[in-house]
Amino acid sequence: MPSAIFSHQAPGLALKIKYPHKFDGTALCISAIVPDLLSLFGPFFAFTLRNFTHSILGVIFSTVPLTIILTVIFCTYIGPFCAKLAKKNGFLSRPLRYMGMETWDNLKKKKYNRRFFLVATYSAFIGGFTHLLLDLPSHEYIEIFFPWVILQNPDFLLYSIIDFGSTTIGTIQIDRNLTVFQLIWFIETLITLVLALYFLRYMKNRNLISKWYDKT
C-alpha cells in the first residue's frame, strides 16, 4: 500500500472536488484506509486477513459497511473536534488549519437520510476500490479476486534493485531488499501524499467545505 493516511485519499478528494454533490467526501476518504485498518487485525485470524480486505468481496462486505459507521462517527464527533482544535492557539492548531480542518465542524450538519446512505454506500465502494488499484503495482501479490485466485505480479516488479540481505533484531527479522514494486510503493506514497495535501489546500483556499454544506 502507499501510506494509507492522507496519500490514499488523493483520488477521493479529486472526485469530491470535481463532483461535490454526487459523492460523500468523508466516505471516500475513510474507505480508502479501511482495508489497511482491517488488516491490522490479521494476527487474530487463522487465515491471511489481507487477502480478504484487499479483494472486491472485502470491499463490499467489510469496507463499505464499516465506512458508513465510521463516517457517521467522524462527522458527528471527530470532525467537529478537529475543527475545535484547529481554532485554538495550540501547537496542533497551525498544521490543522493548514489542511483546512477549522471548517470540519460543518460535517455535523450532515443529514442521515436515505440519500446519505445511498451516496455513502457507493462512495465507500469507490474509495475502497481505488485503494485496491493503488496497491496493484506496489505489492508482490494481487488479491483483488480473492478467494478465487491470488495472482503474483509480473517478474520485473519482483526484481531486486538493492539487496543487503536481512538482519535480525531480537525475534524480528528485517529484510533489507529493495524491489521494483517496493520502489513503486515509495514513489506512489510521495506523489499521492503531495496530491492529497494540494487538494486539501485547494479546498481550504476556496472555502469549499463551508460552501458545500451551505447549499444542503
* DSSP letter for each residue of 175-208: EEEEEHHHHHHHHHHHHHHHHHHHHHHHHHHTTH
Among 70-74, 153-157, 167-171, the range with the most confident prediction by mean pLDDT is 70-74
The Cβ of residue 24 has, within 10 Å, a number of other Cβ atoms equal to 29
> Is residue 167 in some structural domain?
no
Rounded to 5 degrees, φ, ψ at 54 are -105, 30
Name the percent of the chain lying above pLDDT 90: 77
Residue 135 lies in a domain: yes
Q: Which residues are CB-contacts of 29 (< 8 A; sequence separation ≥ 6)? A: 9, 12, 13, 127
pLDDT at 173: 63
Q: Name the H helices within the chain.
A: 10-18, 25-31, 34-39, 49-53, 56-58, 64-73, 79-86, 93-98, 114-135, 155-158, 180-205, 208-214
Inside any domain, residue 87: yes
**d(Cα 184, Cα 176) in Å, to the nearest integer?**
16
Q: What range defines the domain where residue 70 resides? A: 7-152+180-214
d(CA 92, CA 86): 7
Residue 166 domain-assigned? Answer: no
- Please tell me the distance from the alpha carbon of residue 94 to that of residue 71, in angstroms, as a whole number: 25
User: Which pLDDT belongs to residue 42?
Assistant: 81
pLDDT recorded at residue 174: 66
- DSSP symbol at 24: -
Q: Tell me what the mean pLDDT of segment 108-117 comes to.
A: 96
Per-residue pLDDT band for 91 (boundaries 50, 70, 90) equals confident
The reply to whether 33 falls in a domain is: yes
**In terms of C-beta density within 10 A (0-12 exposed, 13-18 middle, 19 or more buried), how is residue 11 classed?**
buried
State the pLDDT at residue 1.
46
What pTM does this model have? 0.91
* pLDDT for residue 35 is more than 50: yes
pLDDT at 216: 60
Q: Which pLDDT does position 162 carry in this prediction?
A: 83
The whole-chain average pLDDT of the chain stands at 91
Q: How confident is the model at residue 6 (pLDDT cuts 50, 70, 90)?
A: confident
162 belongs to a structural domain = no
Mean pLDDT score, 89-96:
88
Q: Tell whether 159 is covered by a domain.
A: no
Rounded to an integer, what distance in angstroms lies between the CA atom of residue 67 and that of residue 164? 40
pLDDT at residue 166, rounded to an integer: 67
Residue 111 pLDDT > 80: yes
Residue 14 within any structural domain of the chain: yes
* Total tally of structural domains belonging to the chain: 1
Distances (CA, A) of 176 to 8, 163, 169, 179: 25, 6, 13, 10
